[in-house]
Amino acid sequence: MLKGKHIILGISGGIAAYKSVTLLRLLIKAGAEVQVVITPSGKEFITPVTLSALSGKPVISEFFTANTGEWHSHVDIGLWADAMVIAPATASSIAKMANGVADNMLITTYLSAKAPVFIAPAMDLDMMAHPSTKRNIELLKSYGNHIIEPAEGELASHLIGKGRMEEPEEIVKYLYRFFASQQALKGKNVLVTAGPTYEKIDPVRFIGNYSSGKMGYAIAEEAAHRGANVTIVSGPVSISTSTPNINIIKVESAREMYEQCVKIFPNCDYAIMCAAVADYAPAKYIDIKIKREKEDVPVIKLVKNPDIAAKLGAIKRPDQTLVGFALETNNEENNALEKLHRKNLDMIILNSLQDSGAGFGKDTNKITTYFSNGKKLEYSLKSKVEVAKDILDSIITK
């Protein structure tokens, strides 16, 4: 998986920098081409000579080579990379990355990198637990960066707690898993439904819901980043995406969404039904605005909309994977499992409006996934970008 991959190894100034030597050796052994970028304080802990001998490349630390004036282009290095690993990442470097403080070569390279970024924090337990570090790490996660959580153990201060940089072998395994998960969706056709549906009552009114499309679009973007050909069948939303490899089909009603999905699904490897589809629509569309009655309140008769997920579940082939969502307010697990089985889904993602930060319109979500084989995975509250990654990781390893 790592053979031929271009990896930037960013090293900042912490005692755990000694482990970066092992990490570098393991990456080279796995066949990666590694460019080391080290901060000025990183060089206090580990010498560039060791790193360049192991990587076979000059180590970059300054914007210019002092004696020749040669400029080191952080932009070119950023574009060259398939991945950037920052290990160790000190509290200071984490803060700079989170806030765009581009005062050294490592941070400018990070800001220019288009490739996925993996950050392995290393610091004393109190620094790790400080609200500013926590906030900065959350910011980095919300940018889509991968945080390789530090382990608990004895720290340089001899205190015991969380803050030890993850072992190099584990970091390499993390990268393996990442590249394997990227491979799994390459060239696959993925259908994602997103947003609400609007069921027209008259020219000025509709039945709808609060879905913003954020969750569905985040899944679509993550799948496209992993090389999938993605189609979003989207209800009316105010968001959009410029990610390549995403085709958006705009619909309004559940009926229109149903027709598009039934047409597209036979050509899909994966379908993820994230839209909040209205279960009912007015039986009759009134083509002029319903006037306010003097005495009587108008009665709108409703009819059932088609169940898109259930229809796809009925026509699903064994080589296809169908994933649904369950948005619940009560009796969550039972309701989710009932939908999983009734709609013949391979997996259902439960989000509950009982959890603050989860559900409609928010930038975060908290999910539990249930699989048709009985497996269950619970996740903490995360940004929808992170949740999308978890969802795709669990779909491909189901």
Chain centre to alpha carbon of residue 164: 25
Opening angle at CA 114, ends 113 and 118, nearest 5? 70
Q: Which of 122, 201, 322, 327 binds ligand PMT (CB under 6 A)?
A: 327
Q: Does 234 bind ligand PMT (CB under 6 A)?
A: no
State the binding string over 300-319 for ligand PMT (x if CB under 6 A, else -): -----x-xxx----------
C-alpha dist (Å) from residue 138 to 255, 359, 394, 395: 39, 19, 22, 24
- Indicate if 267 belongs to the active site: no
Compare residues 20 and 351 and give the one whose CB is closer to ligand PMT.
351
C-alpha dist (Å) from residue 222 to 340, 364, 379, 392: 23, 15, 18, 8
- Chain position carrying tokens 């709808």: 208
Q: Does 371 bind ligand PMT (CB under 6 A)?
A: no
102 vs 265: CA distance, rounded Å: 46
- Residue count, binding to ligand PMT (CB under 6 A): 28
Q: Which of 302, 314, 361, 397 binds ligand PMT (CB under 6 A)?
A: 361
Stretch that binds ligand PMT, among 123-131, 155-163, 268-276, 289-297 (CB under 6 A): 268-276
One-letter amino acid identity for 22? Answer: T
Stretch that binds ligand PMT, among 58-66, 142-150, 295-303, 353-361 (CB under 6 A): 353-361
Q: Does 121 bind ligand PMT (CB under 6 A)?
A: no
111 vs 365: CA distance, rounded Å: 27
Q: Which of 214, 226, 316, 389 binds ligand PMT (CB under 6 A)?
A: 214
Q: Which of 93, 109, 189, 212 binds ligand PMT (CB under 6 A)?
A: 212
Pairing of strands 189-194, 229-234: parallel
State in angstroms the smallest separation of the CB of 332 from ligand PMT: 10
Pairing of strands 33-38, 83-89: unpaired
Q: Does 339 bind ligand PMT (CB under 6 A)?
A: yes
Q: Does 219 bind ligand PMT (CB under 6 A)?
A: no
Q: Please, are residues 283 and 255 in contact by the beta-carbon 8 Å criterion? A: no
321 vs 315: CA distance, rounded Å: 12
Residues near ligand PMT (CB under 6 A): 193, 195, 211-216, 254, 273-277, 279, 305, 307-309, 324-327, 339, 351, 359-361
Catalytically active residues are 209
